[in-house]
Amino acid sequence: MLEYRDKIVQEVAACACDRCGRRLTPGDDDWHEKLSVEYRGGYFSVFGDGATVSIDLCQQCVRDALGPWLRICPGV
User: Which residue's CB is nearer to Zn ion, number 70 or number 76?
Assistant: 70
Shortest Å distance, C-beta 18 to Zn ion: 8
Residue 17 and residue 57 in contact, taking contact as beta carbons nearer than 8 Å:
yes
Contacts (CB under 5 A) with Zn ion, residues 7-66:
17, 19-20, 22, 58, 61
User: Which residue's CB is nearer to Zn ion, number 20 or number 66?
Assistant: 20
Measure the CA–CA gap between 21 and 6, rounded to whole angstroms: 36
Which residues of the shown chain bind Zn ion in the complex (CB under 5 A)?
A: 17, 19-20, 22, 58, 61
